[in-house]
Amino acid sequence: MAGRSELILASASPRRLALLNQIGIEPDHLVPAHVDETPERGELPRKLAQRLADLKAETAQRKAQQAGYGREALVLGADTVVAVGRRILPKTETMQEASECLALLSGRAHRVFTGITLLSPSGQKRQRLVETRVRFKRLGPKEIEAYLASAEWRGKAGGYAIQGLASAFVVKLVGSYSSVVGLPLNETAALLVGEGYPLHFAWLNQSTNASV
C-alpha cells in the first residue's frame, strides 16, 4: 500500500502476528521488546498491563531507530495479564508455576487484561485497555496432569492458552476472546484506523483478488 506508514509490531509472539494477519494486517517489521515484567510494589493488574504495553512499544521504537529504520513507522505494543482479584498470575515457565495457576483458576472466575499502545511518528501515544472475564470449570487432578504434560502452558500468562487445549476448560467468557489470546482486534483496528492506517483498503484488495 503505497504512501502508508510502516507498522512495527513490538513482539515476536506468533499468536499476536496471527491475530493481526486475521484482520488483513502484515507488519513491516517484528521487533521483540524484552522488558522487565516484574510488577511494581502494589501495582494493580490493569495498570501493569498498560504500563508493559507502553514499555514494549517504546523499547521497540528505540531499537528500530537505533538500527536505522522506523522513524516514520507506527509501533504497536501489547501485554496480557491474568489476575484473580488483585493477584497477578505469572507467565509460567515451570511446571510447578503452571500447576499452581491451574489449581487457583479451577472452578472460579478470573480476569484477563490486555493493554495496547500505538506510537505514531509524530510522537502521539494512543492506548486501550481491554478487560475480559473468564470462568473455568472445576478441574480434576487428571485434567491438570494431562494439560501440564502438553507443555502448552509454557510462557503463557496464567498458565494456559485459551486458543489451544485449555479451551475445553472455559465455561463462560464475557468480553474479547482475541484479547485473551493476546491482542484485542476491535480495539487494535480502531487505533490503527485512527492513525490513518489503511486497514479497509487492504480488505478491498483481498475482495478484488478473491473475485478474479
Assess contact for 47 and 91: CB atoms under 8 A. no
Cα separation, 132 vs 148, in Å, equals 24
Angle, nearest 10°, between helix axes 199-211 and 185-194?
A: 110
Cα separation, 158 vs 97, in Å, equals 9
Cα separation, 97 vs 116, in Å, equals 26
Assess contact for 136 and 169: CB atoms under 8 A. yes
Angle, nearest 10°, between helix axes 185-194 and 14-22?
A: 70
Q: Which of 28, 36, 54, 79 is catalytic?
A: 79
Task: Please give the sequence-ordered ranges of beta strands (E in DSSP) within 64-198, or none if there are none.
Answer: 74-84, 87-88, 109-119, 125-136, 170-174
Torsion of CA 75, 13, 165, 20, to 10 degrees: 40
54 a catalytic residue: no
Q: Which has the closest alpha carbon to 133: 105, 167, 171, 175?
A: 175
Residues taking part in catalysis: 79
